[in-house]
Amino acid sequence: MTFYSYDYLKGGQTNWGIAKIAVISLLALAFLVFLVKYSRNKWDIKYKDLSIILGTLLLLAVAIQYSDFTNLRTASVQSGQLTVVIEKSAKKLGVKPETIAINDTSRNNDMLIKTPKGYYSLVFNGSGSEFLLVRANVYQPDITVKGK
């Protein structure tokens, strides 16, 4: 079973943003270079073809980046909700939030938290605004914690 630490949820799960922006920037620069070369040499078709290919790749890369950005924003909102749950759980149990790990990155009713005091199940109310901590017995736990 995989648990995610408080620091992992607060810090975000991805570091690929800068690399993706660099690739898009390089594609845009190459596209502009070939477009300028084609406009100077109207009879040289290879620059037109390369411009079309790079323009298509650039549109594809921007579409992928937008999709990833939307997914990252959703994951960020969910991680923010989970960090609040961890902070409230830590306050109720009297431990530091950094010592708690949770077994999912999106909030649902079948969640477990791992604390120094043991394992607890989270049961949310209908609106999801409050939750109940119920002590849980985990049989032969095979636990890995990401973020420590």
**d(C-alpha 83, C-alpha 123), whole Å:** 16
The pLDDT value given to residue 56: 92
Cβ atoms 146, 102 nearer than 8 A: no
0.75 exceeded by the pTM? Answer: no
- Please give the tally of structural domains in the chain: 1
What is the span of the domain harbouring residue 108? 2-146
Consecutive sets of 10 residues in the chain, 148 residues long: mean pLDDT of each? 80 66 88 89 84 91 82 65 82 88 77 87 79 83 75
Cβ atoms 40, 51 nearer than 8 A: no
